[in-house]
Structure 1
Amino acid sequence: MKRQLEDYDDDDFFNDLDLFRMRKLDPNPNSIPIPTHLPDQIRPYSNYPPEPSASTSGSSLHDPDRIHFFVRLISNGKTLVLHGKPDDKVEVILEKIQTVTGIPVIEQRLIYQGRQLQSEYSLAECMIKNDAGLHLVGRMRSTEHPQVWQLVDTLVSTIYRLLKGETGFICKPVEAVLVVFLDMTAKRDIRVNNLASYLNIFQSLCAPSALVMLYLSPRRSNKELAEKSIRMFMSACKSGLQRPLFSLCAPVALEFCNLLSRSVAQDDPLYSLCRSSLGSMVEDVRVGRSSRNQDIFHNRMCMISFKDVFPFVTELANKLIEGSDINLLPSEVRDFAAFLRPIKAAIKDLPDFEGSIVVTMMYTLSCYDDEVKELYSILFQLLDKMGKCLEKVKGEMEMKQKEDDDWDQYLAILKEIHGIAKLYQGGEDVFWSHMKLADVSLRYLIVTYAKRGEDYKWITGHTDLLDFESRRHLVMLMLPEMKSEDEELHEMLIDRSQLLSESFNYISKAKPENLRGGLFMEFNNEEATGPGVLREWFFLVCQEIFNPQNALFIACPNDRRRFFPNPASKVDPLHLRYFKFAGRVIALALMHKIQVGIMFDRTFFLQLAGIDISLEDIKDADPYFYNSCKQILDMDPVIIDQDALGLTFVHEIEELGSMKVVELITDGKNIVVNSRNRKEYVELLIQHRFVTSVAKQVAKFAKGFADIVGDEKIQKLVFKTLEFEDHEGMLHGSENIISVDDWKAHTEYNGYMETDPQIYWFWKIVEEMTAEQRKVLLFFWTSLKHLPIEGFGGLASKLYIYKSNDSIGLLPSSHTCFYRICFPSYLSKEMMQQRLNIITQDHVGCSFGTW
């Protein structure tokens, strides 16, 4: 820094501001000198040519008997360079202006330091200094947007007076005038052209420069007033303007950023605010071309160049790379993402861009070549930095200690690095090879820090690096969030004897948004309500939906727990509506984290994920069909070409008791299967058997599922994110035999102690039960027959055994909502076992719980 700010007095501020304003408005900026005493960090227009020498600037500039000054015309923004003697009257100057502009003297108002000059006074009496800046307000009534011109001019003039040391009443007008200006920009019916003009006037009169100089003033009161005003401007733009109009403020925000960046540190709060505001303004703006072949961001009348935005990407990337830890605040990570978005869009819109940038092509791009090379370098620096950070995460995980509070930003940063990597050929491979080395840390970050509402689609294409817990967590974030218990829920009153039909009416006729909030379930003529009853209803209704007798789904021959849609489901005229109902129920079960004991066949699962089905995928759904297809493919070509099988491109199916022949392609009955077309034949068979024949059913199920999760894209993303086995774990639950030790470890007591004989007898009896009896007891206790994949540790809470004051002649009771079983102090193990044997009969244990 050439000069310290404390050596920079108010006169310096004032004179420099005059010069900046003149230079910005003068069509020939070389005629206006740059102040040499201005500190480096507050020289916002340092790109202008250097101050002219005496030999080129004219002798009048150095004549001690003459005053050299500038007159800016408010009407058109141009600047006149005039000369006069100290004893010249103001009237003489007005006549000179009339000669140049044609504006009659009578219509001219010449303003200096916020005061109108009277024509009878001399320049000396008006204290006009050499190189001073004056404003000419002429024909104001016919000027476009005269009120805005006057407002901004008053604002800047008031700041002039503040910088000159005037106090008291002046402080109020700055805020008051700015509020009026901002209110004008925030009018609901404001036109885009008018808003752009207002903001252009704000810049043309150098209001940003004035406010920044006020912020840099040595006077604390000036600094506070400037900070408050700039914050007010940014806040008003964001809160008062709709998104398309908000971006029109970008040039003003950019000017604030550029002025401040040369004057204050990067962590200055005001600079950070302006940078964040600018990021918000440009993140959705696209790239276009101007008539001058300059690449610019266009959003109607907003024009910000690529080169204006890229330095902020570099600035934040460098801050991220520096040091051993992550130095970016959450707001700075958001800024990094905001500035990267239009940069990536600009690069993708290049005529040279064909899906990705080849490294060798970076040196021959039509434009942005320097930035593209720099971004490529940034990519590898960021990968190296995040690799070290993720290694540190793993180390602290293994030590079971956490020293860093910045891990919650890692996923957001990785997302942006991945976005950069996608721009370059082979970049994604490099990115995921780094992630493969840090897969343990990545899983931990997802489970611990992934939040609802964030975009994690960049991860879902590589879920092989994740485990069940992290994939499940990502899916749960895609599902709707449950309402709190005191909010209105969708109420259902179901008759057990009409379970499927009444559930269908309640669910299929409800608006999706009502179902997403939560359900309140009650069985007719039963007192029990609450979460336990809801868990029971989910289990029972899913058993009915997938019951083969209802003709909606077929069980796999080799595994009766797995189901796929029944091609003949149209025996029920309402079958498609029931498939949509089934999709809603399954989505709701996942949302409520309830295991219902149902699993999908792979062919059904893959179709819901939008993935093609192969031969190996049908193995469980139809083993006989699978073996037949495999035999065709493996047969000796000579034999099959002899038409030993007698096959043509048709498929015989049984429909409602009769056989039907379907041609797989046009005129398929006349096309013989041979060694050259047999692969196509098998693929068409599989397509018809497992896709075409159930396409309507699958589509309706997917539509019902999408009703709950939001839309079809999310529905497919849910199934793509999960591995086939993951979905089984989430929907069916654990396949392991219920562990009594795990059960005991997650059970607490009320009224009993663990050493009481009744507790000892209870667990001894449970150990002696069959696997099915334990399931019924668990169902009686919790309304769950299937535990989460983690066992009892995956439940929402621990289980409880309560001591009741009931007669020992009574059976145990349960409060399924709270995972609570209650029984009196039975006198012997035999007595307790007799009571438990009764409730572990399947027809008794079901619906035996009470509230």
Structure 2
Amino acid sequence: MSGAEEGSENPLRCPFQFFVRTVSTGPSIVMTGYPEETVKSVLVKIAWVTGMPLRELRVIYKGKQLQLEKALVECGIENDSNLNIVGHLRSGLYPAASRSVDYLLSLLAHASSNTRCACEALKTVKAVSTRHFSLPGFVELFAVSNAPAMLASFYHSPRGSGTRQLAESCITNFMSCARAKNWQSVSTGVVMEFCKQLRQFGRGGHDHLYLSCRKTLGLLLNTIGVSYDFGSVERRVSLHDVFSFVPELVDALLVGLDNNKRCWSTITTPSSEEVSDLTIFLAPLRNAIILQKQLLGGFVIGDDGKCSVEKEDDQLLAEEVDYLRLVFVRLLSKMDECFRCMAVCLAGKESGWTDFVLCPSWSEYLSILKDLYDTSKVFDDAEEMFWTVLRFHKNMLSALVVGFVRRDGDHRWVLDNKSVTNFECRRHLAMMLFPTANEDFDMFHEMLIDRSQVLVESFEYIRRANPESLRSGLFIEFKNEEATGPGVLREWFALVCRRIFDPRRVLFVACPNDGRRFYPNSASKVHPRHLEYFRFAGRIIALALLKKVQVGIVFDRVFFLQLAGLRVTLEDIRDTDPCLYRSCKQILEMDADFIDTDALGLTFVRELEELGCRKVVELCPNGKNILLNSQNREHYVDLLIQNCFVTSISEQVSNFAQGFADILSSSKLKQFFQCLELEDLDWMLHGSENTISIEDWKAHTMYKGYKESDCQISWFWEIVRRMSAQQRRILIFFWTSVKYLPVEGFCGLSSPLFICKTAESSNRLPSSHTCFYQLFLPKYPSIAVMQDHFGVITQEHIACSFGIS
């Protein structure tokens, strides 16, 4: 507490007027005393008013404690003097902490009145606070004392730099102690008090010590949270205290975004600290608003668009809630502007840049958008505003995700509305779920495969292998062949997948309308090890995705949905079983009266043929006695679909999923497939369905030993133009071991293609290094000779494994 006195020229006759302020309890108390009164009598009055025990109070004047029996005038008190009335902040639970805080207050009071002793006093304050920080109750009592205000005053006082530095050291020391794991839960109050005092005394957001304290406060809020249990007696910090930091954080972020928008090439703002600080302070406020909505049944939005709530204890006021909504609108609008400028830059329209790349500072946009996403869920109609902006800037958002999201980031929120993403974005997020491979060559899994036994031998190798070694790398060699390396690996994937999904092996069924599309065969049990083969198939497909090899097959929707943990509906079986789809649609669309006549004679059973025998399966308990009618037909159709396409192949799907999860992770399996649309997985597994573009092919081909103007190169492209689409695919496979191009075309390959001049005789056929995408072309004397030679190698049975790697 502190007191001040006023008097006239005759102190024995005129009364003193005391202004007594108890820190953190409210306004000052006005009291009257007389010069001839003893110090003790004045303290009795103060004790009566404040409720503090008399034995805990004493008066400090000019660094000295006044004796209780002396009169005020005898103590030399003059007009406009400042007195410090200090009380032991004693609690029955924490007597030791009370004495320690009391001692610190006396040191600080002495330092404030005696400049020469200030440095030594502050050194002692730092030492004592460090030693006693762990005392039970010390941090709480220190926070409600006048000590934080006094230290902040020292830091911002015009005293010598030594005093300022020592005060800063004391405060910094408190921040370090507060961040310690064992004391985070009790330190929030004292850190908040330092933030308030430093902001009050200093330059706020421009002072490095204030920013450091605010950062510490944010870390504590992020670690232990903020109490917003309305009506609770014990709170770590007030919601309104947390809210008080938001305007300055928002303003700093908006300035940073404006700077970033104006100067893309050099500016690195907004900083990650500015973004993370705002996120940390907004999070507890969002949670408080959600809780208020639950307790109050929602907010009332007036004609002016502002929120209306009744104030209860520690609830946020309507003005504060409305301000947070305004913050959302302002930041979303600013992000819209930034996206537009980003698009201009990437289009090469600004400053003539035609080879522009993502600016590193743009990575903070994703953090801002994540915060806006979380905030959008708090306010009505905010979600639609948010997704509308992102939908308009889908390509820019996707570029940010592909450019900056790594395995340690959590950006799945983007997929809550897949319409704001493109294929590259969804593929990137899905592939980030694969664990990082150990690229130690010693960890590679080696396989020596006989081409005539490629499926059986590959099955045994992969089945027994440790998943970690499979992820690290596969080293494939075919018996009696010299070729090794990535080209052979790509060819091996194509051969194995062709055999796994061959319908004659009864593991998978091809869709009637699309022979590339497969789902598990419910009759696969005719194969004695069918479930092991499904697990093997899961590993192979996961490895193909991991190694970015297009294998030429795709999944049917009913298979994809089950891997994603989603329900199969009638519309999902349209391509899987067109006949059953039409029958079910007819049942649902028939006249109700006709259905109720039992003209169809259907009950809740399914008849099927299994291993040459007819079998009846009840769709539900006692299904054979439940007649189909207009009331239960939707339920009948649903049960029929679940039995045909879910229950009947559940074991097969489960084992395939387990094999896939061996390479990925069991906890991320559903998440992987939920990241993607079925079409995305089609492109990742099968590759491009587009006609091969010769211009794209030429644009991604380079020459070694030849020049583009050489006649052999001109003849080569002329021959390619005359080829059929199938011959072109065979030539690319011969050249690269790439059976199916990526969806991006040639630019999606890991490197350009090369045509290399060789000294081989013109009687020799072309050869290739498939690992390095190199085609070795002898110097043929005429286009006719070259055409004959390419006619040989573009026969599919010859092209396979004809090159070297």
1:522/1:528 contact within 8 Å kept: yes
Cα distance between partner residues in 2 of 1:286 and 1:150: 27
Q: Are residue 307 (structure 1) and residue 234 (structure 2) matched?
A: no
Cα distance between partner residues in 2 of 1:416 and 1:471: 20
Cα distance between partner residues in 1 of 2:187 and 2:505: 62
Q: Are residue 131 (structure 1) and residue 70 (structure 2) matched?
A: no
* Structure 1 residues 205 and 633, CA gap change in structure 2 (3 angstroms): closer
Which residue number corresponds to residue 14 of structure 2? none
Amino acid at match of 2:83: D
Quote how far apart the aligned CAs of 1:324 are. Answer: 4.8
* Structure 1 residues 554 and 234, CA gap change in structure 2 (3 angstroms): farther
Cα distance between partner residues in 2 of 1:77 and 1:399: 75
Which residue number corresponds to residue 12 of structure 2? none
1:287/1:296 contact within 8 Å kept: no
Q: Are residue 199 (structure 1) and residue 143 (structure 2) matched?
A: no
Indicate the percent of aligned positions where both proteins have the same amino acid: 42
2:97/2:135 contact within 8 Å kept: no
Cα distance between partner residues in 1 of 2:122 and 2:373: 49
Cα distance between partner residues in 1 of 2:234 and 2:800: 69
* Structure 1 residues 313 and 157, CA gap change in structure 2 (3 angstroms): closer
Which residue number corresponds to residue 199 of structure 2? 261
1:151/1:177 contact within 8 Å kept: no
Which residues of 2 match residues 45-194 of structure 1 at below 5 A? 48-50=26-28, 52-53=29-30, 56-60=31-35, 80-82=56-58, 131=83, 144=96, 149=100, 153=104, 160=111, 164-165=115-116, 181=131
Amino acid at match of 1:347: I
Quote how far apart the aligned CAs of 1:406 are. Answer: 4.7
Which residue number corresponds to residue 343 of structure 1? 285
* Structure 1 residues 814 and 59, CA gap change in structure 2 (3 angstroms): farther
Which residue number corresponds to residue 727 of structure 1? 681
Counterpart among 265, 273, 279 of residue 212 in structure 2:
273
Quote how far apart the aligned CAs of 1:615 are. Answer: 2.2
* Structure 1 residues 85 and 689, CA gap change in structure 2 (3 angstroms): closer
Q: Secondary structure at the match of 1:789?
A: coil
* Bigger Cα displacement from structure 2, 208-217 vs 693-702: 208-217
Which residue number corresponds to residue 693 of structure 1? 648
Cα distance between partner residues in 2 of 1:158 and 1:514: 68
Q: CA offsets per residue over residues 474-512 of structure 1, 9 Å max, x none? A: 3333343455x5576442324134433444444444555
Quote how far apart the aligned CAs of 1:665 are. Answer: 1.8
Quote how far apart the aligned CAs of 1:46 are. Answer: 8.0
* Bigger Cα displacement from structure 2, 687-696 vs 340-349: 340-349
Amino acid at match of 1:270: L
Quote how far apart the aligned CAs of 1:752 are. Answer: 1.3
* Structure 1 residues 622 and 331, CA gap change in structure 2 (3 angstroms): same
Contiguous gaps of at least 5 residues in structure 2: 4-16, 261-268, 354-358
Which residue number corresponds to residue 463 of structure 1? 418
Quote how far apart the aligned CAs of 1:384 are. Answer: 3.1
Cα distance between partner residues in 1 of 2:488 and 2:110: 70
Amino acid at match of 2:711: P
Which residues of 2 match residues 740-759 of structure 1 at below 5 A? 740-759=694-713
* Structure 1 residues 492 and 172, CA gap change in structure 2 (3 angstroms): farther
Q: Secondary structure at the match of 2:294?
A: coil
Counterpart among 523, 527, 533 of residue 488 in structure 2:
533
Contiguous gaps of at least 5 residues in structure 1: 1-17, 21-29, 36-44, 97-121, 186-193, 298-302
Cα distance between partner residues in 2 of 1:650 and 1:446: 49
Q: Are residue 654 (structure 1) and residue 593 (structure 2) matched?
A: no
1:344/1:423 contact within 8 Å kept: yes
Counterpart among 714, 736, 739 of residue 760 in structure 1:
714
Q: Are residue 283 (structure 1) and residue 205 (structure 2) matched?
A: no
Cα distance between partner residues in 1 of 2:473 and 2:141: 53
Which residue number corresponds to residue 294 of structure 1? 232
Amino acid at match of 2:115: K
Q: Secondary structure at the match of 1:131?
A: strand
Q: Secondary structure at the match of 1:478?
A: coil
2:88/2:102 contact within 8 Å kept: no
Quote how far apart the aligned CAs of 1:772 are. Answer: 2.4
1:569/1:575 contact within 8 Å kept: yes
Cα distance between partner residues in 2 of 1:429 and 1:508: 48
Amino acid at match of 2:221: V
Which residue number corresponds to residue 249 of structure 1? 187
* Bigger Cα displacement from structure 2, 331-340 vs 587-596: 587-596
Q: Secondary structure at the match of 2:720?
A: helix
Q: Secondary structure at the match of 1:261?
A: helix
Which residue number corresponds to residue 715 of structure 1? 669
1:250/1:282 contact within 8 Å kept: yes
Cα distance between partner residues in 1 of 2:297 and 2:734: 58
Cα distance between partner residues in 1 of 2:281 and 2:218: 5
Cα distance between partner residues in 1 of 2:234 and 2:86: 34
Q: CA offsets per residue over residues 583-619 of structure 1, 9 Å max, x none? A: 3332332233221111111121222233332322212
1:538/1:594 contact within 8 Å kept: yes
Q: Secondary structure at the match of 2:429?
A: helix
Quote how far apart the aligned CAs of 1:799 are. Answer: 1.2
* Bigger Cα displacement from structure 2, 469-478 vs 511-520: 511-520
Which residue number corresponds to residue 161 of structure 2? 220
Q: Secondary structure at the match of 1:669?
A: helix
Cα distance between partner residues in 2 of 1:681 and 1:741: 54
Which residue number corresponds to residue 264 of structure 2? none
* Structure 1 residues 32 and 658, CA gap change in structure 2 (3 angstroms): farther
* Structure 1 residues 364 and 703, CA gap change in structure 2 (3 angstroms): farther
Cα distance between partner residues in 2 of 1:792 and 1:727: 19
Cα distance between partner residues in 2 of 1:198 and 1:64: 29
Cα distance between partner residues in 2 of 1:553 and 1:435: 40
Q: What RMSD, in angstroms, separates the aligned Cα atoms of the two structures? A: 4.4
Counterpart among 377, 400, 413 of residue 349 in structure 2:
400
Cα distance between partner residues in 1 of 2:710 and 2:571: 55
Q: Are residue 587 (structure 1) and residue 527 (structure 2) matched?
A: no
Which residue number corresponds to residue 11 of structure 2? none
Counterpart among 501, 509, 514 of residue 546 in structure 1:
501
Cα distance between partner residues in 2 of 1:629 and 1:66: 96
Which residue number corresponds to residue 562 of structure 2? 607
Amino acid at match of 1:220: S
Cα distance between partner residues in 2 of 1:520 and 1:377: 58
* Structure 1 residues 78 and 740, CA gap change in structure 2 (3 angstroms): farther
* Bigger Cα displacement from structure 2, 366-375 vs 269-278: 366-375
* Structure 1 residues 267 and 374, CA gap change in structure 2 (3 angstroms): same
2:535/2:660 contact within 8 Å kept: yes
Q: Secondary structure at the match of 1:352?
A: helix
Q: Secondary structure at the match of 2:245?
A: helix
Q: Secondary structure at the match of 1:380?
A: helix
Quote how far apart the aligned CAs of 1:747 are. Answer: 0.5
Quote how far apart the aligned CAs of 1:652 are. Answer: 1.0
Q: Are residue 491 (structure 1) and residue 445 (structure 2) matched?
A: yes
* Structure 1 residues 684 and 275, CA gap change in structure 2 (3 angstroms): same
1:359/1:424 contact within 8 Å kept: no
Quote how far apart the aligned CAs of 1:289 are. Answer: 6.7
Amino acid at match of 2:34: S
TM-score by length of 1: 0.77
Cα distance between partner residues in 1 of 2:231 and 2:321: 19
Which residue number corresponds to residue 266 of structure 2? none
Quote how far apart the aligned CAs of 1:567 are. Answer: 1.1
Amino acid at match of 1:212: A
Which residue number corresponds to residue 384 of structure 1? 333
Quote how far apart the aligned CAs of 1:563 are. Answer: 0.4
TM-score by length of 2: 0.81
